[in-house]
Amino acid sequence: MSVFNDINHTAEKASQIGERYIRASHQYFRLKIFQQLTLSLSLVTKVLAVGSLFFAGFVFLSIAGALELGNWAGSHALGFLLVGLIYVVLSILIYLLRSKLNAYIIKKVGPKFFN
């Protein structure tokens, strides 16, 4: 009978250790998800705040540049057209370099996400 009691005791002990491991793993994953969510939310908030201010400044600089080009060219419409063409050229360059941009972003964000 002693052998059966020892086996029963060992099985109960293994079961308790397994349950503790599952609880600890569950808690770890909850904390990891919380960390990733807060980091993501913080990043999105910072990007929106800085991006909106940058965008507003960029709009004012674009209008000022277009007006100045218009004065230089003798036509405000031509100035705005030139600024629009500059944006089209920049958009085409970014489109052509999108794979390098994606690789750079993955390289920078990957370690933060997986650590």
pLDDT value at residue 101: 87
The model's pTM: 0.60
Of 50, 51, 73, 70, the closest CA to residue 62 belongs to 70
User: What whole-number distance in Å separates Cα of residue 60 and Cα of residue 53?
Assistant: 11
Confidence of residue 113 (pLDDT cuts 50, 70, 90): low
Domain count of the fold of the chain: 1
**What domain range includes position 72?**
2-114
DSSP string, 20-81: HHHHHHHHHHHHHHHHHHHHHHHHHHHHHHHHHHHHHHHHHHHHHHHHHHHHHHT-HHHHHH
Q: Which residue has the higher pLDDT, 44 or 106?
A: 44
pLDDT tens digits, one per residue of 34-81: 988 998 899 899 999 999 999 999 999 999 999 999 999 899 999 999
**Half-sphere exposure of residue 90, counting CA atoms within 13 Å on the CB side?**
6
Residue 36's contacts (CB-CB under 8 Å, 6 or more residues apart) are 113
Query: Among 2-6, 48-52, 82-86, which is the least confidently predicted range?
Result: 2-6
- Please say whether the dihedral angle defined by the alpha carbons of residues 42, 43, 45 and 50, taken in this order, is positive or negative: positive
